[in-house]
Structure 1
Amino acid sequence: MDLSDTDIATANMRGQSLLATQPRALTARYDAGSGRIILDLTNGCLFAFPARLVQDLHGATDEDLAQIEVPKPGLGLYWPRLDADVYVPGLVAGIFGTRYWMASEMGRRGGTARSPAKTAAARQNGAKGGRPKKAVKS
């Protein structure tokens, strides 16, 4: 596929716009005490997130997480020991993995959550004999 000068100029303009508008990382470090990745962004902001929230970092050791690189121009983070890349603008937007993985994580966390309302409902159901048995189809 041959690109015209116009195609190349348009792509360059899109790239410059991306660099000007998207959050980019200057530095990144892992804080083992809090379990968070801490980013210094080009706009002067500091952004931190729990490393274990990220799909590709889930289950990684502290040693693996500490080996983090910020390739130029700062739109991504790279963990060489894990061979994992993460997109910085996505992290800042709260995207920590694929849509399917994030939904399953939300369901897993919600299912293990405890609250006074959930405890009271469980006790009420227990007083009634618990969950009704499913009908067996013959």
Structure 2
Amino acid sequence: MELTDEMIALAIQRGAEARNRNPVATSVRYDRRIGRVVIALSSGLELAFSPHLAQGLEAAKPSDLQEIEISPSGLGVHFPKLDADLYLPALLEGLLGSANWAASKMGAKGGKAKTPAKVAAARANGAKGGRPRKNVPAAA
């Protein structure tokens, strides 16, 4: 497919409309006092979150968070010392990482849960000699 001047102009127009429709980051900083990354938006709102809740920032030290950059589009935030990036539209939707990352966090949280049903199952398995083995067909 060959790009025409008309197609390029239309793409530029759609990009400008998208920028006007959605807020962009105007400044970003790590506030040591409250332990939060604070992103100021073009809409006048501020978004603040604990870095330990975001993918790529989980193990970040305060010194790692002192240098933060905004992407040229204003839709991304980059942490050079960690080589980590966050996408502003996803942050505004409450997503602090990829779907796989979120699933692993939820799985880890579920594995740590101590419900009466889980305790009873563990005791029953222990009385039988441990967790039941999986029925795996023998290789031929």
Which residue is equivalent to 1:82? 82
What secondary structure sits across from 1:27 in the alignment?
strand
Decide whether aligned partners of structure 1 residues 134 and 14 sit closer, same or farther in structure 2, where only a CA change above 3 A counts: same
The residue matched to 2:124 in structure 1 has which SS?
A: coil
Q: Which has the higher contact order (CA 8 A, sep 6+)?
A: 1
TM-score (norm 2): 0.78
Is the contact between residue 75 and residue 89 of structure 1 (CA under 8 Å) also seen in structure 2? yes
For these two proteins, the number of residue pairs brought into alignment is 132
Question: Aligned to 1:12, what secondary structure does the other structure show?
Answer: helix
Percent identity over paired residues: 37
Counterparts of 1:1-138 in structure 2, within 5 Å, are: 2-113=2-113, 118=115, 120-122=116-118, 124=120, 129-131=123-125, 133-135=131-133
Could you say if the C-alpha distance between residues 77 and 136 of structure 1 is closer, same or farther in structure 2, counting changes exceeding 3 Å? Answer: closer
5+ residue gaps, structure 1: none
Structure 1 73/123 Cα, relative in aligned 2: closer, same or farther at 3 Å?
A: closer
What TM-score do the two structures reach when normalised by structure 1?
0.78
Mind listing any 5+ residue stretches in structure 2 that lack a counterpart? Answer: none
RMSD: 2.4
The alignment partner of 1:15 has SS state of helix
2:132 and 2:110 map into 1 onto residues whose CA distance is 24
Residue deviations 1:43-80, cap 9 Å, x none? 11111112122212222221111211223342111112
